[in-house]
Structures are given as structure tokens and as C-alpha cells.
Amino acid sequence: MLTAVLVALAASGLLTGIATAGGVTCDPGKQFCLIEVEQPGNPGQPSQPGDVGAGPRTCVVSSTGVSVPCSSDHFGWFNDGDDCYWRRVEPPPPATDSIWQGHHPAGAVYSVSCAATHPNGVDGWVWAAADPPGYGGTGVTPAQLAQQALAQLALTGPAIRMTIEGDEHGLVGLPVWLWTEVGPTTWGPNSATAAVPGLSVTATAQARQVVWEMGDGRSETCKNPGTPYYTGGVTSPTCQHIYEQSSAGQANEAFPVTATTTWDVTWTGGGASGALTVTRQSTASVRIGEMQVLITQE
């Protein structure tokens, strides 16, 4: 993280920075996964390359959403941490100048221009121990690095479990318990850090909910991972579905089940922070029959 000592204008409260606060929404993974009901699900993975990874650098003023050039011959390089332009002062001030705050010769003195990006921004000088993120045009932005950290999290859809196992048939009118095995990649919490020289970003993910599309035209939204079935249990205390019709006539005589986890991801680093929302899917199938009552007469 950039350490800087603001002097002159900063001391009077005139030079301010606004931390980046952006949001990125990734599309759900669309990969189809075949799984056995009695085994943990094989979750879907991000299907589009644009979901993760860093592309060409783009520069956006976080307070307005306006795209700006990443560099200027006059102002220098755009700093994602404070939405201002930074340029080294050349030649640097004398070692005795108070701007160094006793740090000379470590670090450098920069001319910081916020007037070009903030309505009430002002310009001034600052000492910093290292170049800010993106200085020189060779670095990635914190938001782009957050995407790399997101990829390292390897988030998945639910590891699907139900009370109906293998080739068993459930019954119309009886609860089907729904849950996911809980782990860092299936429910969280989960953290990962991506770094380049001079900049690191840490992303932390926690699942918010699972939406179960049960194949009969209805769905269940569970704000928890569900409760594993226990002997003697009848009604799940957290997450279940009751079928009102059999799966007869469906493809393979089974209802297709799609479980989608919504993940909340927060990230911080490089003087910036943000929040991402991503979804991941898993699929399964379940067979439901109707109870047959045999009446005999003597």
C-alpha cells in the first residue's frame, strides 16, 4: 500500500483523495455438469474469459464514473488510489526542502494534480515512498488485480446433496431436504491475494444464498447452506422442497435440478476497495414417484 505524507495543501485539508469504490458483476457459470445425487456436485465454472483476469488498463474517476486518459504529458500518470494525476518532480527539490519530511533520499517527490479530475480538486506536492499504482503505464489497477484474486478463489456452485440418493425415488408430498457440503469454495469464507511489484489486492468471498430450481417450475431460495439429513428427520429446519407431481414423463423420468450460489466478494488493496457479486451453478436430477395404495378385498 502506498504510504504518502501530504504537506502544504494537505495540512490545511485542501488536498483530498477519494478511494476507488467500484463494483463488477460476473455472469453465472454456464458449464453443464453431470453429477450423482448421492455425491457432492461438480460445480460449474466461469465460462467466459471476460469474467476474470486483467485486460488493458482503463482509468475511471470513481466519484463520477467518467473515463479519463491514463497519462498526460503535462499532469503525469493517473493514480487509481486517489483519482489524481501524479508526476515526479524533476529535478527533485533539495534535500533540505521540508517536502521530504526527513526521508531524503528515499522515495520521491511528486506533483499531484486533482483539479483535472475532481470538481473541487487542487494541485500540490507530495512525498511518497514508491510510485503509485499504474505509474509509468506498466502496472495494473487495483480493480483489475481484484479480478485475478477472484480467479484464485476458485468459487464453485453448491456441492449438491439431497435426501434422495442414487436411483431412489422420492414421493409426491414428502419433503426433499436440500443442502450443500460446506467448504471454502462451496460456501466460504474464502480469501486470496493477487500481487504485482508494489501492489497487492486481497479478495474475500462469502456465499449469500442458494437458489434451487427444482425442475417442476418452482424454486427454493435458501439463505444458508441447508441442513444435512439426520436419521429420524422429516422436515428440514432450513431448506427443503415438496414436489406436487411425479417426474413421470420428464426426460430420463427425472426432474433436472439447478442450484445457483450467489457470492459476495469484497476486495481491498492499493489504497482502493470494492465489492463484486458472482454466481456459480451446479446441476443434478431427482426422480419423484407417487405413492401407490393397494386395497384388497376378502
How far apart (Å, rounded) are the C-alpha atoms in residues 23 and 201? 15
Share of the chain above pLDDT 70, in %: 75
Q: Are residues 161 and 241 in the same domain?
A: yes
pLDDT for 49 beyond 60: no
Tell me whether residue 2 is in a domain: yes
Identify any residues that bridge with 23 across adjacent strands, giving them in sequence order.
275
Cell triple for residue 82?
Answer: 486517489
- Per-residue pLDDT tens for 214-263? 999 999 999 999 999 999 999 999 999 999 999 998 898 999 999 999 99
Q: Which of 139, 170, 194 is the last residue of a domain?
A: 139
Q: Are residues 1 and 42 in the same domain?
A: no
Q: Are residues 36 and 81 in the same domain?
A: no
Tell me whether residue 24 is in a domain: no
Tell me whether residue 172 is in a domain: yes
- Greater confidence (146 vs 46) lies with 146
Q: How many domains does the chain have?
A: 2
Share of the chain above pLDDT 90, in %: 50
Give the model's pLDDT for residue 138: 55
Q: Are residues 178 and 194 in the same domain?
A: yes
Preceding amide of 189 cis, omega within 30? yes
- Greater confidence (135 vs 224) lies with 224
Residue 78, helix vs strand vs coil: strand
Q: Tell me if the pTM is above 0.75.
A: no
Tell me whether residue 296 is in a domain: no
Degrees to nearest 5, angle at CA 220 with 215 and 225: 115
Q: Which of 120, 139, 158 is the last residue of a domain?
A: 139
Give the model's pLDDT for residue 225: 97
Q: Are residues 190 and 228 in the same domain?
A: yes
Q: Are residues 150 and 200 in the same domain?
A: yes
Q: Are residues 51 and 62 in the same domain?
A: no
Give the model's pLDDT for residue 298: 58
Tell me whether residue 26 is in a domain: no
Tell me whether residue 295 is in a domain: no
Q: What are phi and psi of 145, to 5 degrees?
A: -65, -30
| Mean pLDDT, residues 92-109 taken together | 93
Most confidently predicted of 26-35, 48-57, 63-72, 183-192: 183-192
Residue 121, helix vs strand vs coil: coil
Give the model's pLDDT for residue 17: 31
Cell triple for residue 97?
Answer: 526542502
Q: Are residues 62 and 207 in the same domain?
A: no
Q: Which of 90, 119, 139 is the last residue of a domain?
A: 139
Q: Are residues 225 and 105 in the same domain?
A: no
Question: Which residue type, as a one-letter code, is found at position 194?
Answer: A
Q: Are residues 150 and 282 in the same domain?
A: yes
Where do we find the cell 450460489? 261
Domain that holds residue 114: 1-19+57-139
- Greater confidence (265 vs 115) lies with 265
Q: Please, what is the average pLDDT of the chain?
A: 77
Give the model's pLDDT for residue 36: 25
Tell me whether residue 159 is in a domain: yes
